[in-house]
Structure 1
Amino acid sequence: MKKHIILLSAAGLLLSSCGVYTQYKPATEVPDGLYGEETAAFTESPDGSPAASGDSLNLGLGGMDWHELFTDPHLQALIEQGLQNNTDYQSAQLRVEEAEAALLSAKLAFLPSFALAPQGTVSSFDSHKATQTYSLPVTASWELDIFGRMRNAKKQSKALYAQSRDYHQAVRTQLITGIANTYYTLLMLDEQLAISKQTEETWKETVASTRALMNAGLANESAVSQMEAAYYQVQASVLDLEEQINQVENSLALLLAETPRHYERGVLAEQQFPADFSIGIPVQMLSCRPDVRSAERTLEAAFYGTNAARSAFYPSITLSGSAGWTNSAGSMIVNPGKFVASAIGSLTQPLFARGQLIAQYRIARAQQEEASLAFQQTLLNAGSEVNDALTAWQTSRSKSELLDKQVASLQTAARSTSLLMEHGNTTYLEVLTARQTLLSAQLSQTANRFSEIQSLINLYKALGGGQE
């Protein structure tokens, strides 16, 4: 007995050194400067203290619940509807269930398998009386996982199950931010439409005033024609904006898995968002962002796949047996039947498939290396997305004050030129230029406000926001 224990211990040490039983070590470090060099001020919590791991995840933007970020009640209702009805999100949930079933199957592989295999025969020789034989055995088979094949398969299935949950979370984040982006696009278009309609009314009055000046001999027909052309251009832009609103509403309907309709919504100028937030330290990306977690789960599954391919070089040991009743005792038939039992142990060692096993092992190793490179690239992509979104948010906030001042100056200029034209101190071209420049600036001001909101949403997504 002691010899058997010594042999098994030696075999265990040998297999461990060969990598059959090695454990995957999760990533705990990220490249230096993952978010870029200009984000130090945003890697602190709102109170100024450095963001750390653990409980401080809730201090960062990525750890914020989407209800806290998106406070518009209309938007909240739409997101709730999307989480209930979106087909991609439901498909992701089904993938989780599939992976869970695969993991359960891998766990059950450690247990013996039982089967009832009843048999019956009727035979007759040279017109003699037919003989009937039967057997009612219960067969059992149990593979001893000494060399780690089933253990590695179970760990691989466990990693794939975790990956499916990460994919489910990624779809959830994508859905929440997609609905939010679409909603705020509608708010931007609504405001631009309101500005354009207001401008349309102003141009209508300007055309009438210019025509009156022409009738009084203070303006010519060219001035009236130029004003009318500008008026028609604004009317055309109103129609374009209405068409865009319809298209965006249709896009929102697709996200909500329903037929197109009009959606009740708020006003862009009334939207409120956190003024101070942190983006957390880069290492939090490993636990917050679902696509990064998913890429690492793929690497983990490939790691255990390599272990499984390595364990295929070792023999498999299977215990099998049967027990039941039969009336066939070799050349005799006995009734009633007698109890019979048998047990068999088998060891299977691949002899002529070594080349195939080596090829499969090389494939597994290459897939592991490929998964490692994909994980590194996913992490770099995540850091780049954070930097892009943060830079866009900072730029939009910086432009906001400048655009406000520009619009205020252009409004004054438009009023002044209109009054001067009415009194004959300026030309219609100055009025035309002032009004067109004002409209362009007002539309840019609205677009910049949307860009600020959109970059904040993209930053929330890049940090892995929207977690359950």
Structure 2
Amino acid sequence: MNRNCLKYIYFTAMLLGVLASCKITKTYKRPDVATDGLYRDGHSTDTATLASMPWQSLFADTVLKSLIQEGLNNNLDLKTAVQKILEAQASLQQSKAAYFPSLSGNVSAQRSKQSQAGLNFPPGININTLTTTYQAGLSTSWEADVWGKLSSTKRAALATFLQSDAAKRAVQTQLIADIANNYFSLLALDKQLEITQQTLKNRIKDIETMKDLKQGAVVNGAAVVQSEANRYAAEVSIPDIKRSIRETENALDILLSRPPGPVNRGTLDSQKLVSELQTGIPAQLLTNRPDVQQSEYTFRAAFENTNLARSYFYPSFTITASGGLSTLSLKDFFNKSIFYNAAVGLTQPIFNQGINKARLRTAQAQQQEALNSFQQTLLVAGQEVSNALYAHQTAVEKQDARSKQIQALQKSVDYTQELLRYSSATNYTDVLTSEQNLLAAQLSGVSDRLQELQAIVNLYRALGGGWR
């Protein structure tokens, strides 16, 4: 290696060192976001949380567990989310490969003929104007990551990859909650159908009782007609409940990615979920909620894209080289036919119609948008935790009062039916009112229990449970 070549390499290394010392990109740091008070009434300092519990431990119903597992295996939205991860992974690998020089090879044969008159040689000189050139070579190019352009691109791709993974986990937690909520809705509808059908049987018996009482001149014909109307009032609600059951089954089948059909299930009365609702502290949402993580990774990618936009204002440093064999005759292809060249380039943008400025302003605006979205996602997460906690609290409070209401209304029905038999101070309207109120309370009691179960599921998802 001659002295000039050594000087060239030394100068290039020194130049790269000087340029690399001028750092223009910023290092990412999680933005300061307020988490205090996100749970509204929650002031716990205990870090124990439902989110750390595997979903298999949250549910005791083996049928529900099998449905959730089927959904995790087959749900099309979840499969799409996995494909998004593979896309992001390919982009990440591509950004890593940008650190290495490109290398390409070429082989060519070129035949050309020139005009003898156009060469303007003196008369009498014969020159071969028909030539064939054979060439084979390699060329390479490498851009030094002086200003962090390639590093920012790689970090942005990494953030996008992590974002896609968090998105997949967010789909999973939502899927588990949707399957459980639809399953509990189905059990509640089954219970309401059971209550309504039993009520219908009782009211059919009431009609026969009213007819007997009319024969005994205890009631008149109006009571018989009212008892028949009361029977039909219960009967007409059954098709609507059955329709709701069918639609809920179909919705559950979609979550399981299977054609509409019946769904195997247990009973509402047999359901048992955790009794102690541990929420942890609000700051844990940053690490437990996949959608919050997804939103932060979106901001992180936007942050790195802003770094990338800044790097376009500075010169790019590239090294290119090519070499190979070139000859006019195939027989001399490997004989003194070597050629090569190398070049070092430093390209500084001077005027490009404001593209770089527009790129930077766009990236900065997108970064601020991503930050706003991140903060909004965190606020929504706190809202969902607060709503689920209060929904559970009110459901428990209602169930105690509701059970007493149902007991009182059951006694009211029994008493008015007995009084109707033996006292003229009572008419069938009193019985009718008591029976209607009892049915409404029983159906509402089922809804209270459903609210309690779904509140636990929603709290589990709101805290970030279901993806571990």
Common fold, TM-score beyond 0.5?
Answer: yes
In structure 2, the CA distance between the partners of 1:155 and 1:133, relative to structure 1 (3 Å rule), is: same
CA distance in 1: counterparts of 2:63 and 2:418, whole angstroms:
43
Partner of 1:118: 107
Residues 33, 375 of structure 2: 8 Å contact kept: no
1:301-340 paired onto structure 2 within 5 Å: 301-328=301-328, 334-337=332-335, 338-340=337-339
| CA deviation map 1:79-124 (0-9, x unaligned) | 1111111111100000000000000000000011111111111234
Query: Is the partner of 1:420 in helix, strand or coil?
Result: helix
Q: Which amino acid in 2 is paired with 1:103? A: L
State the AA in 2 paired with 1:346. G
> What percent of counterpart residues are identical?
38
Q: Against the structure 1 CA distance between its residues 416 and 96, is the aligned structure 2 distance closer, same or farther, given a 3 Å change threshold? A: same
CA contact (8 A) 2:316 2:348 kept: yes
Aligned to 1:177: 177
1:154 and 1:65, CA in 2 relative to 1: closer, same or farther beyond 3 A?
A: same
The CA deviation string for residues 276-300 of structure 1, in whole angstroms up to 9 with x for no partner, is 1310111100000011111111111
2:42 counterpart of 1:39: yes
Instruction: Give the match for residue 47 of structure 1.
Output: none
Deviation at 1:132, TM superposition (A): 2.4
Equivalence for 1:132: 132
- My pick for the range that moved more, 120-129 or 406-415, is 120-129
Distance 1:335 1:431 in 2: 112
CA contact (8 A) 1:29 1:283 kept: no
Q: Distance in 1 between matches of 2:313 and 2:328?
A: 41
Matched, 1:290 2:290: yes
Give structure 1 stretches of 5+ with no counterpart: 45-49, 52-58
Structure 2 CA distance for aligned equivalents of residues 60 and 149 of structure 1: 41
Q: Corresponding residue for 1:82?
A: 71
User: What is the CA deviation profile of residues 369-393 of structure 1, one whole-angstrom value per residue up to 9, with x for unaligned ones?
Assistant: 1111111111111111111111111
CA distance in 2 between counterparts of 1:12 and 1:31 reads 39
Match of 1:66 in 2: 55
* Alignment pair present for 1:299 and 2:307: no
The answer for the alignment partner of 2:187 in structure 1 is 187
How large is the Cα RMSD of the aligned pairs?
Answer: 2.1
1:56 counterpart residue number: none
Q: Distance in 2 between matches of 1:9 and 1:96?
A: 37
Alpha-carbon contact 1:313-1:354 (below 8 Å) kept: no
Q: Report deviation, 1:13.
A: 4.4
CA distance in structure 2 between the partners assigned to 1:333 and 1:347 by the alignment: 40
Q: Any residues of structure 2 matched to 1:40-439 within 5 Å, and which? A: 40=43, 43=44, 50-51=46-47, 59-124=48-113, 131-328=131-328, 334-337=332-335, 338-353=337-352, 355-425=354-424, 426-439=426-439
2: CA distance between counterparts of 1:10 and 1:385?
Answer: 52
* C-alpha contact (below 8 Å) 2:395/2:452 kept by paired residues: yes
**CA deviation after TM superposition for structure 1 residue 347, in Å:** 1.5
Secondary structure of the corresponding residue to residue 14 of structure 1? coil
**Equivalents in 2 of 1:285, 1:403: separation in Å?**
35
Match of 2:119 in 1: none
* 8 Å CA contact 2:325, 2:333 repeated in 1: no
* Alignment counterpart, residue 14 of structure 1, candidates 19, 22, 28: 22
Would the alpha carbon gap of residues 236 and 98 (structure 1) be closer, same or farther in structure 2, given more than 3 Å must change? same
- For 2:459 and 2:453, how far apart are their aligned partners in 1? 10
SS in 1 for 2:354: helix
CA contact under 8 A between 2:325 and 2:334: conserved in structure 1? no
SS in 2 for 1:340: strand
Shift of residue 131, structure 1, vs aligned partner: 3.4
User: 1:133 touches 1:333 (CA, 8 Å); kept in 2?
Assistant: no
Distance 1:9 1:119 in 2: 39
How far apart are 1:167 and its partner, in Å?
0.4
Q: What are the Cα deviations for residues 142-178 of structure 1, in whole angstroms up to 9, with x where unaligned?
A: 1111111111000000000000001001100111100
Aligned to 2:121: none
8 A Cα contact 2:22 2:147, kept in partner: no
444-453 or 275-284, larger mean C-alpha shift: 275-284
Query: Which amino acid is the alignment partner of residue 35 of structure 1?
Result: Y
Q: Judge conservation of contact 1:116–1:136 (CA < 8 Å) in 2.
A: yes
Give, in angstroms, the shift of residue 3 of structure 1: 8.5
Distance 2:375 2:88 in 1: 24
Paired residue for 1:460?
A: 460
| Local SS of the residue matching 1:116 | strand
The change in CA–CA distance for 1:335 and 1:290 in structure 2 (over 3 A counts) is closer
- CA shift, 1:402, in A, is 0.7
Distance in 2 between residues matched to 1:396 and 1:297, nearest whole Å: 37
Question: What secondary structure does 1:118 align onto?
Answer: strand
For the residues of structure 1 that align with 2:145 and 2:200, how far apart are their CA atoms? 79
- Report SS of the residue matched to 1:465: coil
CA distance in structure 2 between the aligned counterparts of 1:368 and 1:441, rounded to whole angstroms: 53
- 1:269 CA displacement: 1.1
Distance 1:135 1:406 in 2: 96
- State the alpha-carbon separation in 1 of the partners of residues 358 and 183 from structure 2: 52
Match of 1:25 among 23, 29, 33: 29
8 Å contact from structure 1 (residues 62, 466) kept in 2: yes
Q: Is the 8 A contact 1:28 1:283 kept in 2?
A: no
1:46-73, Cα deviation, whole Å (9 max, x unpaired): xxxx22xxxxxxx311121111112211
**1:413 Cα offset (Å):** 1.4
Partner SS for 1:466: coil
Query: Counterpart amino acid of 2:287?
Result: S
Deviation at 1:422, TM superposition (A): 2.2
Instruction: Report the counterpart of residue 123 of structure 2 in structure 1.
Output: none
How many residue pairs align between the two structures? Answer: 447
CA 1:414–1:4 in 2, change beyond 3 Å: closer, same or farther?
A: same
Deviation at 1:194, TM superposition (A): 0.3
Greater C-alpha Rg: 2
Aligned letter for 1:270?
S
